[in-house]
Amino acid sequence: MTEQPDALRLADIAEQARVSEATVSRVVNGKPGVAASTRQAVLAAMDQLGYQRPLRTRQRTKGLIGLLIPELDNPIFPAFAQVIDSMLSLRGYQSVLCTQSPGGATEDEHLETLTDRGVSGIVFVSGLHADTTADHGRYTRLIERGVPVVFVNGYAPGVRAPFFSDDDGVAVRLAVTHLRELGHERIGLAVGPERFVPTQRKAAEFRRLMAPVSGSADVDKLITHSLFSVEGGHSAASSLLDQGCTAVVCGSDLMALGAIRAARKRGLSVPRDFSVVGYDDSPLIAFTDPPLTTIQQQVSAMTTAAVRTLLDEIAGVDVPTGEYLFQPELVVRGSTAACPES
């Protein structure tokens, strides 16, 4: 049975949260006068140390926020969910997580459930707003009903709402420039299905960069569309290796792991014989073999902006609509090296 923290253990919580014992005491006893961020740090410390929170530490929620994300198999989506949930909790809201795994509830079914529960707002991450073939009228109808919404990763031009995305063109430019500096000329792009906005933007920038080197006719052969998964990356990289590519830029870290597997299956070494760049900088990706060179999504910056905007909407503030692009960063690790032909 978990023991409640007593006076003798306040010091442990204070040390973990980097606050005074007096502050811990105020939080534990439900006293006012503690900043929201400090209170959250103390509660996090209690959780990390294995203490059960006393009932008096619980605050009445200001409302429910729907959080729609794709499946949880890709570690970048739990990373988004964790940051968003933490930010909402810090501001007194409770998130309702809805995933869209294959065979599960659809986005429309989740929306019906959320609106029936009277949520205060909804955050969409990589949803149908990123699919150019989807009917985006569902979002317009939602907005017309007065439901505050924000969108992360993806853009639907006809929807008057705030959108927050990493700049996919910059991401490809960073990756291709890095590989060219290593002497690679035959570079491939492995991305997801063509209907998705991030895929289209990555492919467009790749064509712009590679056409002067490979020729317009040849550059399309260097772009392979597959699934955003290990298996998809394996299939795409196999095709690109058949075309003599010495390096590949992938549309996700999971695809990059599949590309490494495809190279090794042919007896090639990564990065000595084949260089691989991922996209996302998912949790634990730095500990793969080899540690993955990747393009880091600005998860914290995007979610912070999205949540603040949503809460402004909920408060009745007239927020600007349109798209806000964030600058990704190249993280160089051990999966890229000089071209073997250099």
Tell me the average pLDDT across 155-181.
97
Given a contact cutoff of 8 angstroms between Cβ atoms, the answer to whether 205 and 177 are in contact is no
Backbone angles phi, psi at 140, to 5 degrees: -60, -45
For residue 79, the model assigns a pLDDT of: 94
Tokens linked to 88: 């909402």
For residue 57, the model assigns a pLDDT of: 58
Which residue in 321, 272, 266, 331 sits closest to 297, CA to CA?
Answer: 331
How many CB atoms within 10 Å of residue 340?
A: 15
Q: Which domains does the chain have, with CATH numbers?
A: 1-35 (no CATH), 63-166+299-327 (3.40.50.2300), 168-297 (3.40.50.2300)
Residue with tokens 């949260």: 17
For residue 2, the model assigns a pLDDT of: 44
What does the alpha-carbon distance between residue 258 and residue 262 come to, in Å, rounded to a whole number? Answer: 6
Kindly indicate the confidence band of residue 33, based on its pLDDT and cuts at 50, 70 and 90. confident
What does the alpha-carbon distance between residue 23 and residue 38 come to, in Å, rounded to a whole number? Answer: 8
Residue 16 has pLDDT above 90, yes or no: no
| pTM given for the model | 0.83
3-state helix, strand, coil in the chain (%, to 5): 45, 20, 35
Say which range, 40-49, 156-165, 264-273, has the weakest mean pLDDT.
Answer: 40-49
For residue 342, the model assigns a pLDDT of: 57
Which residue in 256, 250, 327, 331 sits closest to 295, CA to CA?
Answer: 331
Say which range, 96-105, 125-134, 251-260, 318-327, has the weakest mean pLDDT.
Answer: 96-105
Which residue in 162, 188, 192, 158 sits closest to 176, CA to CA?
Answer: 188
Tokens linked to 301: 């910056």
For residue 61, the model assigns a pLDDT of: 61
Which residue in 168, 329, 172, 169 sits closest to 248, CA to CA?
Answer: 172
Residue 30 has pLDDT above 80, yes or no: no
For residue 59, the model assigns a pLDDT of: 58
Residue 22 has pLDDT above 60, yes or no: yes
What does the alpha-carbon distance between residue 342 and residue 338 come to, in Å, rounded to a whole number? Answer: 7
For residue 5, the model assigns a pLDDT of: 45
Kindly indicate the confidence band of residue 218, based on its pLDDT and cuts at 50, 70 and 90. confident
DSSP strands (E only) in 63-215 = 63-69, 93-99, 121-125, 149-152, 162-166, 187-191
Tell me the average pLDDT across 266-293.
96
Average pLDDT, the chain: 90
Tokens linked to 219: 């550059």
What does the alpha-carbon distance between residue 85 and residue 174 come to, in Å, rounded to a whole number? Answer: 30
For residue 8, the model assigns a pLDDT of: 42
H helices of 215-282, in order, are 216-219, 230-242, 253-265
Tell me the average pLDDT across 289-303.
96
Residue 36 has pLDDT above 90, yes or no: no
Give 9 or 296, the one with higher predicted confidence: 296
